[in-house]
Amino acid sequence: MKRVFDEIEKQIYTPDQIRQMMVQEGRKMLSMQAFHVAIRNPLYCGKVFIPKFKDEEAHFVKGQHEPLISEAQFENVQAILDGRRKSVRTNVKLLSDAHLP
C-alpha cells in the first residue's frame, strides 16, 4: 500500500489505473470499492478512530503500530482524492510533434 500512496501522490495515474497496474503485476488487490475505502483509511498513517462513547466525542488517537506512511503524505493524498490539490502534470510533446529548425 505504500507504493499505492506514492503513486497517487505523483499524480501520473488515477487511483483506478494504479489498482489495475498492481493486479497486472500479479499482486492480490482489493475490489475497486474496497480499494477506495482502503486509501481513505487513516490507519496507514498511524491513526486509530475512536467512536463516540457516552460523554466522550469521537476522535483519532495515535496507534501503537508503526505508520506505513507519514501523516503529511496521507493528508496530501486525501487532498488529491478530494480535488483540493491541483494536478502537477505537465504536457509532454512528442519529438515527432516538435518543429525542429
pLDDT at 31: 87
pLDDT at 28: 81
pLDDT at 60: 85
Residue 62's DSSP bridge partners are 47
Q: How far apart are CA 43 and CA 18, in angstroms?
A: 20
The secondary element (H helix, E strand) that includes residue 61 is strand 59-62
Spatial neighbors of 101 by CB under 8 A, at least 6 apart, are: none
Residue 48's DSSP bridge partners are 61
Q: What does the pLDDT profile of the chain (101 residues) look like in tens digits?
A: 999 999 999 999 999 999 999 888 888 878 889 999 999 999 999 998 888 999 999 988 898 899 999 999 999 999 999 988 665 555 444 444 444 44
DSSP 53: B
Domain limits of the chain?
2-87
Fold of 2-87: Hect, E3 ligase catalytic domain fold (3.90.1750)
Tell me, what amino acid is at 5?
F
